[in-house]
Structure 1
């Protein structure tokens, strides 16, 4: 059961980055992200209502949902979608894999929870790997400055996501129901994005090509609703620390798809960069228990 949840989560999270590229084009990014979360919110809230698990939330709970909307279901994805116009989707995913490290840094900054030495070593490895990956991409693209723009924007998006994790943790500590809060947060995020789109003079209509619509449906239902639920189920079964290994593996899926569909070209610098990012995450989280057991059994 746990293995199935783990594989499903990694595959979903690893493939959504490529699906985002299919939404870049005629439809403004803010409209695309808005519809993604409008559909996801409607689907999740309807599913909860049908199961009789849609409680009436308090005003404080709705305020927390608004904060989640700003961090997890709007501004961060605006950054990710925008960055995809300038960098391969796989690199977007690799930067996002630093989110757990940013979580710990935020806890250090905001709650004075000082990380241990292994975390600092892992964080330095991870950030060094990112710099090496983008350095290789920068050189390969003949010093194209838009690569640096893409890096900066996707890092901002990852930081928004990290702050959203802290908001979610605080909401759960207060006993707020997670899935209903998430459903409302997705809805608030959609309203916020549609308001921005209308203010900018955009129509809320979106492209109706089969590729765009299928990508929208995949991102809204598979990526945002099912992927989120499988991850939560995984956290419930094996704990948040072990579930965090998803962030180690899904960038490899994203980079593999980017190689096939976007023509991402590997160099020795990019290979070393990925190894540093993965190694940094492993240094932070430690080796998985099955790997530890195998190692001790074959010493």
Structure 2
């Protein structure tokens, strides 16, 4: 069951990038689409947990979850949704895999934490992959907004990394189900995205009634956010935080394949080399944790007493 749910989670996360692209191309304003997705998913999950009597309304007023929502949802997805107006879903997925590298950089430079040689090399390789992905396009006179979109996604991963580091402290302060914590931070992040949309975007009602628009929103709310993230947190409780996070190595490849096959996105040698380099760097950044995971679960499984 664990392997089945893991593969399902990887597939879902891999498809969300294309679903975002379809919705944006259909005319849904990016900040509005992201806001509707996360606020709806968050409030539905929260109401479900409230119905199960597993959460108190007091948790809605915890400022820690507001700051978590700023990092994990608002900053991460405001940049991603905006960027997918100009960047293919495959490139967006590959650049999103730089999240662990940003965590390493922030932990090392700002928090003064020691890091291994392998992780440092992985970070350098991963960032080199980003340059391989973007730099040739600059010399080929690619549209300026394409470059800005790529840089926006990388900036979004800085938000993601900051939110992830901060979340570790939040879990020590707030005793609650991971599903509840995720639901509340999604509500806060979604609300901030809707406020940003109100200030910067003009929503055309006709664009929201297209089949592509409706399908994209429903898929991202139910499948992407509610089911995908629930599977992730279920796997965290049943295994450990490292194993579920390895979706970062699989989902970008799924996203690239889906984009090329079903949405006719362009796949160049630069994209392929950059993607492989970034994923290699991501693996090396997490090498110690992955080695520990494989050592415990594969080489020396626990004996049943």
TM-score, normalised to structure 1's length?
0.88
- Aligned partner of 1:268 in structure 2 is 269
**Structure 1 unaligned spans of 5+:** 295-299
How many angstroms apart in 2 are the aligned matches of 1:224 and 1:98? 20
Deviation at 1:201, TM superposition (A): 6.6
Q: How many residues matched?
A: 291
Distance (Å, rounded) in 1 between the aligned partners of 2:150 and 2:271 = 15
Partner of 2:248, secondary structure, is helix
- Map Cα deviations across residues 107-141 of structure 1 (whole Å, 9 max, x no partner): 223321121100011111111112212235556x6
What is the CA deviation profile of residues 246-265 of structure 1, one whole-angstrom value per residue up to 9, with x for unaligned ones?
11111000111111133233
Match of 2:57, SS state, is coil
Deviations 1:2-54 (A, max 9, x none): 21121011111100000001221433222111111121022101221222212
1:156 aligns with 2:189: no
User: Does the CA contact (< 8 Å) of 1:43 and 1:221 recur in 2?
Assistant: no
Counterpart position of 2:302:
none
Contact kept, 8 Å, 1:136 with 1:270, in 2: the verdict is no
Once residues 111 and 77 of structure 2 are traced to their aligned partners in structure 1, the CA distance between those partners, rounded to angstroms, is: 26
Partner of 2:167: 168
The 5-angstrom pairing of residues 27-176 of structure 1 reads: 27-58=28-59, 62-138=62-138, 142-176=141-175
Provide closer, same or farther for how the CA distance between residues 268 and 204 of structure 1 changes in structure 2, counting only shifts above 3 A: closer
d(CA) in 1 for partners of 2:47 and 2:121?
A: 45
Give the distance between the partners of 1:143 and 1:12, measured in 2 at CA: 31
Shift of residue 143, structure 1, vs aligned partner: 3.2
Unaligned 5+ runs, structure 2: 300-305
Note the alpha carbon deviations across 1:136-178, whole angstroms, 9 max, x for none.
5556x64332221111111111111111111211111224323
Determine if contact 2:32/2:193 at 8 Å carries over to the other structure: yes
Change (3 A) 1:30 1:143: closer
Root mean square deviation of aligned Cα: 2.4
Alpha-carbon separation, structure 1, partners of 2:250 and 2:231: 16
Mapped to 1, the partners of 2:59 and 2:197 lie a distance apart of 29
CA contact (8 A) 2:69 2:189 kept: yes
2:17 maps to 1:8: no
Whether the 8 Å contact between 2:29 and 2:201 is mirrored in structure 1 is no
CA distance, structure 2, for counterparts of residue 130 and residue 200 of structure 1:
29
Q: C-alpha distance in 2, partners of 1:209/1:239?
A: 41
Structure-2 separation of matches of 1:50 and 1:32? 27
Pick which of 175-184 and 29-38 moved more: 175-184
Counterpart contact for 1:197–1:204, Cα < 8 Å: no
Preserved contact between residue 18 and residue 254 of structure 1 (Cα < 8 Å): yes
The alignment's TM-score, normalised by the length of structure 2, stands at: 0.87
Q: 1:199 to 1:264 in 2, by over 3 A?
A: closer
Deviates more, 1:172-181 or 1:8-17: 172-181
